[in-house]
Amino acid sequence: MSTVMKTAKHGEYLPPPDPPGLRKWLRDNLFDGWFNTILTLLSSAFIIFVGIGIFQWLVNDVDWRPITGFPTLYAVGQYPRDQLWRVAFGITSFAFLIGVSWGRSGGILRTISQFIGGFFTILALLPVSHPELTLGYRLFFISIPLTIWIGLIAGRSSFIKGRTFIILWLLYPILYILILRGFEGVEFLDNVRTTSWGGLLVTFLLSVGGILLSFPIGVALALGRRSSLPVVKAFSTVFIETIRGVPLISLLFMFSVILALFLPPEARLDRLLRALMAVTFFSAAYTAENVRGGLQAVPQGQIEAAQAVGMSNIQITSFIVLPQAIRAVIPAIVGQFISLFKDTTLVVIVSLNDLLGIGRSIINSRPEFLQAQLEVYVFIAAIYWIFSYFMSLASRRLETSLGVGQ
Write the CB contacts of 202 (distance below 8 Å, at least 6 apart in sequence).
77, 272, 344, 347, 352, 353, 354, 355
* Percentages (nearest 5) of helix, strand, coil residues in the chain: 75, 0, 20
Contact in structure between 353 and 272 (CB atoms under 8 Å): no
Block mean pLDDT (10 aa), the chain, length 406: 48 61 79 87 93 85 87 91 92 92 82 89 84 87 94 83 82 91 84 90 93 93 90 94 92 84 74 91 94 89 88 88 89 91 90 90 89 90 92 84 68
Other C-beta atoms closer than 10 Å to the C-beta of 40 total 15
Look at residue 2 in the predicted model and tell me its pLDDT: 45
CA distances from 150 to 95, 143, 145, 156, 160 (A): 9, 10, 9, 10, 12
CA distance 278 to 254: 8
Write the CB contacts of 360 (distance below 8 Å, at least 6 apart in sequence).
348, 376
Q: What is the pLDDT of residues 301-346, one digit of tens each?
A: 888 898 888 888 888 888 888 988 998 888 889 999 999 999 999 9
Tell me, rounded to whole angstroms, the distance of Cα 336 from its chain centroid.
10
Q: With respect to CATH, is domain 199-406 assigned 1.10.3720.10? A: yes
Look at residue 63 in the predicted model and tell me its pLDDT: 86
- The H or E element containing residue 184 is none
Look at residue 209 in the predicted model and tell me its pLDDT: 92
CA distance 110 to 128: 30
Amino acid at 210: G
Dihedral of alpha carbons 303, 304, 308, 310, sign: positive
CA distance 237 to 247: 18
Domain ranges of the chain: 80-192, 199-406
